[in-house]
Amino acid sequence: MADEFVPLSVQQFSQEALGTNRSRDDGSLNFPLLGLFGEVGSLLSEVKKKQRDHISFLAYASAVTEELGDVLWYFNLVATKGGVSLAEVVTNLSTEDAGWLAASEVPLTFEALQPAVITTPQSPSQAFEATLIELAATIGLLMADHSKKDIGQDRKRLAPHLVRILDVLIRAANEAGVTLEAAAIKNQAKTVDRWPIQKEYPALFDEEAPVQEQLPRNLRIDVFEREVAGKRYVFQTCNGLNIGDRLTDNAMTPDDYRFHDVFHYAYVAVLGWSPVTRSLFRLKRKSTPEIDEAQDGARATLIEEGVATWIFGQAVNMNFFEDFKPGDLPFDLLKQVRQFVAGYEAEHCPTWLWEKAILEGYAAFRYLRKNRRGTVILDIKNRRLEIEPLP
């Protein structure tokens, strides 16, 4: 018998959303308010895109759902940091007297806040646009009040603002044809994928493949630069044998991209994925023809090279991610990477794991840029890439 669907409660969303909060806690509402206003701005931007490119912008409904979920996340953070629970705000939505009702112990569901049937329009309606502007204005009033005097711990001043904002937010969701429950669930999936409370590594993609077709679980690769006929190349050896071609930057302006294979090795060590490395070491999964063709073939290899090149273009402007710690990589960058690999095994790797692969790959890259040689160590068992001096 299939598990019975249990509606998401306001209390559950609030608690789990707070568990993924990685913002500084300085006791002020400044950060969550900026986040709330920024997400409403992103929502307005999605509507603008749909109006400007009404035929080509096919991801509108999904984008609006995601942005509404982000608005809910920051709204919950504003409320909580101001000493007001999200459940209390929901409880007082229909209160007309001056009293403030305490939230009951009974779970409050998102689905109870909206009509049972919601029609999804093909394009943003004028009513939806007007409501979004009202939503931005309502949040602006809260920010204006806050700017006069920090109201973070003044429930009597903060609570009415929150009720008004949620009321407008619900109307906006109704007019967009989106349920707040769907928005909240999508936000949960996204934030846990990026900032999980407990990190668990997914199974390796080739775990069931014959041993001779598996990516190397432990490997040491010597990478070094050498001059040949007046030109400098990067060479790689493994167990005393040359691997791959000698590499240059393939660019008009030198940028040390010649060391970029270390990114592919990071994908192997941390993600357990790299069509490029499979091709290099002749480890394609020939025993399963459909996987060999779709996951290990030329197209998959081009996708991986494209990912590495695109990330490199972003890294150049961020000092090759020096001093970046887990959680520091821009979320938009990681989302773009996931879109690059859609349809391939690597799309199932969570964004936090992609970040780990990228940061460890760039730590090794920076070492090679400085020292021009090193031994790269792949440790799939511990999902780790390291580098040490090469004599």
Q: Does some domain include residue 19?
A: yes
- For 378, the domain range is 211-388
pLDDT-wise least confident of 181-195, 244-258, 265-279, 366-380: 244-258
* 229 and 156 fall within a common domain: no
Q: Is the pLDDT assigned to residue 55 strictly greater than 70?
A: no
Average pLDDT, the chain: 90
Q: What is the pLDDT of residue 266?
A: 98
Confidence of residue 124 (pLDDT cuts 50, 70, 90): low
Mean pLDDT of 170-191: 93
Confidence of residue 200 (pLDDT cuts 50, 70, 90): very high
3-state helix, strand, coil in the chain (%, to 5): 55, 10, 35
Confidence of residue 330 (pLDDT cuts 50, 70, 90): very high
CATH of the domain at 100: 1.10.4010
Residues in the chain: 391
Mean pLDDT of 3-25: 85
Confidence of residue 44 (pLDDT cuts 50, 70, 90): confident
**What pLDDT, in 10s, does the model give residues 238-271?**
988 899 888 887 877 889 999 999 999 999 999 9
Decide which of 165, 194, 223 is a domain's last residue.
194
Confidence of residue 150 (pLDDT cuts 50, 70, 90): confident
293 CB-contact burial (10 Å; exposed 0-12 / middle 13-18 / buried 19+) = middle
Decide which of 160, 194, 228 is a domain's last residue.
194
Q: Which residues contact 109 (CB under 8 A, 6 or more apart)?
A: 7, 8, 9, 10, 181
Q: What is the pLDDT of residue 122?
A: 64
Q: Does some domain include residue 185?
A: yes
Cross-strand pairs, 373: 224
Taking the C-alpha atoms of residue 27 and residue 157, their distance in angstroms, rounded to an integer, is 17
Q: Where are the beta strands (DSSP E) in the chain?
A: 218-228, 231-238, 241-242, 373-379, 384-388
pLDDT above 90: percentage of residues in the chain? 69
* 187 and 215 fall within a common domain: no
Q: Is the pLDDT assigned to residue 390 strictly greater than 50?
A: yes
